Structure 1
Amino acid sequence: MNFKKTIQLLNLVLLLLVLSSCKKHDNDISDADLPKDSLPMMHPSEKEPSKLTAAYINKKKAEIESFYNKNWPHNSLNGSFLVAKDGQIIYERYEGYSNLRAKTPITADTPLHLASVSKMVTATAILKLVNANKLKLDQKVNSILKEFPYPDVTVRMLLNHRSGMRSYSYFTDKKEIWDRHKTITNQQLLTLMATKHIALESKTNTRFAYCNTNYAMLALIIEKITGLSYKEAMSKIIFKPLGMTNTFVMDYDKDRKTVVPSYKGNNVEIGMDFLDAIYGDKNIYSTPRDILKLDQARNAPSFLEPSLYKQVFEGYSNEHKGKRNYGLGIRMTLLDNGETLYYHNGWWHGNTSSYVSLRRENVTLICLSNKFSRKPYDIRKLSALFGDYPFELGDE
């Protein structure tokens, strides 16, 4: 009898060990579960913010304040605004409400929807993975995402919008393709393209066509390469290492009722729709102070190997001569004087955003709003205060 009980006890212990192992795999992957070098994490800028003179700061503050008051008279900006030089904030303003009904004020710690400025952040994670030899820029997407139906598209072409794919908003609203009463995810979007035979808009790599679908697929690539959800991967690669404590990827199921809503220009709230669970092209919430940390890290020597870094800021759409171009997750305007303005704008529902990085002058310009307005895009004009950029601050 004692021998039989001993066997039963041993079997029970073995079962508990198996269940414990299974439970460990079911949980989110923790930092302790990952080899130290398994994820290529961002590093803060090695440079301390420069100590600008009081005279310089006061002069720039007065000029920026004048511009701000012309663009947003009577505190009409509903959002956040920041200008920094060499990593040092020289001017910031936070106006309006994150929730108009509750009259919750927007502060320096209020995360607002970045809209398509999220693409710059997604591109940053992809570039770090390329830099760490986790994937290659010219690797075929279908070698990573086996279901991906367009055989000639590469990672680089997703980054620079030359894949030829159609924007998902142009085909998911057709009832024979998708039921708009159901929220669609990134993976479901990929499956739709594979099973519903969604044709390319243009032949791959023949022209630039800005397309949100590209960055939704890049988010899936991040998940495939890291073995983490996009939300977890972005936190581990970028947000936590840089101390971006007010930045996160919206989890549609968990966060949609608590994130900052957006509004039309007449203050009518814009609800979420069936496309709001898709991430990579959008759905990152952040603050100007956190974006400044990312901007400085992206411009630090430790960001990427020099040869890869150079490719980020090349223009890839040269089939037609023009002033505007697109790099790897960054827009650019080629100016007549030989300067290049690097930036990314965003617009999703009532959220509009603008991020400008003057790389040579190490100046960062950021404006975010959760109430629809095109005025945030005008922040680029402030570049004229810091370098040879052909903008008049009084221009409309």
Structure 2
Amino acid sequence: MLKLKTFGLIILSFCFTNLNAQNQLEYTIDSILKTYDTNHQPGLAISVINKNEVLYSKGFGIANLDYAIKNTDSTIFSLASISKQFTAAAIWALIEEGKLSLDDNLHQFFPDFPEYGKSIKIKHLLNHTSGIRNYHTLMYLSGFDYDRDYYDNQTVLSLANRQKNLNHISGEKVSYSNTNYNILALIIEQLSGQNLNDYLKSKILLPLGMTNTFVRVSHGKVIKNRAIGYQNQDDNYIYSISNQLSYGAGSMGSNAKNMIIWIHMLNENIPEFKDLATFLKTTEILTTGKKASYARGLMVDDYKGHTTYSHSGFGFGGQTQLITVPEEGIGIIILTNLQSINPTPISYRILDLLINSKELENTISDRAIDFKSQNLDQFTGDYKEVNSDMTMQISEENDTLKAQGSMGNNKISLQQNDTNKFVRRNAQNVKYNFEKTPQYDMEISFGGTPFYFKRAKLVTSNPENLIQFSGKYYSEELDTTYHLFIENYTLKLSYTNNENIKLYPVQLNEFGNKDRTLYHFTTGTDGTIKGMLLSCDGQVSNIEFTKDQTQY
């Protein structure tokens, strides 16, 4: 009897310890989110799973400022780019039905697509290695007015059809482009005979019990308990009046409670959908021999010794973040309705609380160094993002490598964790890889999303013959004319819905707008300016512009 009582006390002590630890975790998460617990501004909803159990699920801030309705874990938010996982799930369903193959190419569905469509396969669309230009960037460069002009998936397809080239060879590298997933939505609808919302509901959402998750495929429908997405402008909150109707890459709605089900599926806790989880988390081998960091609607990364699967989202009025660690039964979903709230660093702060405490103690600085120390000078210098004017200076101070981007205010300390590889000291999900390839000299990864940089010979002053860059330039791919002119010895640009944009020198015959757009001027054999190649956001490469030679 004494032994039985002792055993009972041990069990009670164990349960009390676990309960106390859980209460402490909840208290700490409350502290992290305290700033969003208000009655006068938009906020967020969050659900956290630990060891496959719901640890935390709450709403913060206001869903609708007109009526002072609070956010809860039942409030419907825009999923933004997390939607891509669901589009990929619909592709899986079509493959299961025998209607589609990962190796089918674009010409099988769109015979009028440019010739290079024959090299683009379904698997390239799923993992963003197709090389197709991002339509949001193309629309921005053409002067599209999001508040006034209408667009849908057919608009996106038509814009893609007009592009003469890809950003890179299909399968070569991950280059994030929303166009991939809008095209996938069109393929799903073509093969299923249903719109994406109806097909997803029948094959994925309703079988999972996700009754409050949907694709917005039409205007005018009532969405109960919906959070309005806001921007903060001049101390006022405004919401979007855009009438766009594109989907596949975004335009889905759900709530934190429903997304708990999705996380359980990704963590392979729903037997009927284990094959789907495996499909979404599978990565391809690139033509370079490297493994892609993007799977199928999910970014794959290593964080403090754990494999993570994640995706963020960004749109007018909100940001989103989903991250899972299946091996630990961890999942975090954060949905916001205020664009300035960045949920990604919040998710990693919470993740640090959940992953094994031994791993937390085993920080980079404490790890056994299993690589040879390197001379940091070999990494220092100026770099420029491929297909962008954003620059990065890598310097050394007190035996520490530091990085400062042209869009950042401070130098960020890096710490080496492998040969030619570094991470940010205070954000280990941000990685710097200096292994050179023919295409780039440095790759910066944010939770698995890659950005590519090449060494640069930067210039800071305008050339003496600045006038030669002025004139009219026309792009058939964008169906847009750019007017470049000189004002106060500054090169400026105007085009549809954009006036008097200042341009700054970057490299020889290159200018930028300090917002990730690069204007590279091309010359003839006589050295005169003949045209321009326009690149932007790292997602659009070398759009051709021809200079009007008749004006001189």
TM-score (norm 1): 0.75
Residue aligning to 1:281: 249
More divergent stretch after superposition (113-122 vs 196-205): 196-205
Q: Which has the higher helix share?
A: 1
1:347 aligned residue:
314
Equivalence map 1:319-334=2 (5 Å): 319=288, 325-334=293-302
Residues 59-80 of structure 1, C-alpha deviations (whole Å, 9 max, x = no match): 2342243134234436157110
CA gap of 1:238–1:305, structure 2 versus 1, over 3 A, is closer
Distance in 1 (alpha carbons) for counterparts of 2:173 and 2:36 = 44
Q: 2 CA distance for matches of 1:172 and 1:287? A: 30
Contact 2:229-2:338 within 8 A present in 1 as well = yes
Q: Secondary structure at the match of 1:303?
A: helix
Residue identity in the other structure for 1:309: T
Query: Is 1:303 matched up with 2:278?
Result: no
**Structure 1 CA distance for aligned equivalents of residues 334 and 105 of structure 2:** 36
Determine the structure 1 residue equivalent to 2:490: none
2: CA distance between counterparts of 1:57 and 1:145?
57
Aligned pairs for 1:245-394 within 5 A? 245-255=211-221, 260-265=227-232, 266=235, 268-273=237-242, 276-298=244-266, 299=268, 300-303=270-273, 305=275, 309=278, 312-314=281-283, 316=285, 319=288, 325-335=293-303, 337=305, 339-377=306-344, 378-388=346-356
Question: Which structure has the larger Rg over C-alpha atoms?
Answer: 2
User: Is 1:143 equivalent to 2:112 in the alignment?
Assistant: no
Shift of 1:305: 4.3
Matched residue count: 338
The aligned residue for residue 87 of structure 2 is 122
CA offset at residue 164 of structure 1?
0.2
- 1:239 to partner: Cα distance: 1.9
Sort the Cα spacing of 1:146 and 1:334 in 2 relative to 1 into closer, same or farther, 3 A.
Answer: same
Change (3 A) 1:334 1:317: farther
Distance 1:352 1:305, change over 3 A: closer
Shift of the 200–57 alpha-carbon distance from structure 1 to 2, 3 Å rule, reads: farther
Counting strand residues as a fraction of each chain, which structure ranks higher? 2
Alpha-carbon distance change, 89 to 315 in structure 1, aligned in 2, over 3 angstroms? same
**1:38-49 alignment runs, 5 A limit:** none
The answer to whether the 8 Å contact 1:317/1:325 transfers is no
Instruction: Give the 5 Å matches for 1:73-222.
Output: 73=35, 75=37, 78-149=43-114, 150-173=117-140, 181-194=148-161, 196-222=162-188
Question: Among residues 195, 204, 208, which one is paired with 1:242 in the alignment?
Answer: 208
Q: Between the two structures, name the one with larger relative contact order (CA 8 Å, sep ≥ 6).
A: 1
Q: Deviation at 1:374?
A: 4.3
Structure 2's unaligned 5+ residue stretches are 1-13, 364-425, 428-552
1:84-121 deviation per Cα after TM superposition (whole angstroms, max 9, x unaligned): 23543221111111111221111232110011111112
CA contact (8 A) 1:152 1:204 kept: yes
Distance 2:286 2:96 in 1: 23
Q: 1:176 to 1:116 in 2, by over 3 A?
A: closer
Q: Residues of 2 paired with 1:310 and 1:158: CA distance?
A: 14
Cross-structure match for 1:56:
18
Post-superposition offset of 1:180: 7.6
Consecutive unaligned residues of structure 1, counting only runs of 5 or more, are 1-51
CA contact (8 A) 1:173 1:180 kept: no
Percent identity of the aligned residues?
24
For normalisation by structure 2, the TM-score amounts to 0.55
1:355/1:367 contact within 8 Å kept:
yes
- Structure 2 SS opposite 1:63: helix
Aligned residue type for 1:84: I
What root-mean-square deviation, in Å, do the aligned CA atoms of Structure 1 and Structure 2 show? Answer: 3.2
Letter aligned with residue 78 of structure 1: G
- Measured at CA, do residues 148 and 312 of structure 1 come closer, stay the same or move farther in structure 2, by a change above 3 Å? farther
CA positional deviation for 1:207: 1.6
Higher mean C-alpha deviation, range 381-390 or range 251-260: 251-260
Matched to 1:330, the amino acid is L
State the shift of 1:228 in Å: 0.1
CA distance in 2, matches of 1:364, 1:207: 28
| CA distance in structure 2 between the aligned counterparts of 1:318 and 1:54, rounded to whole angstroms | 54
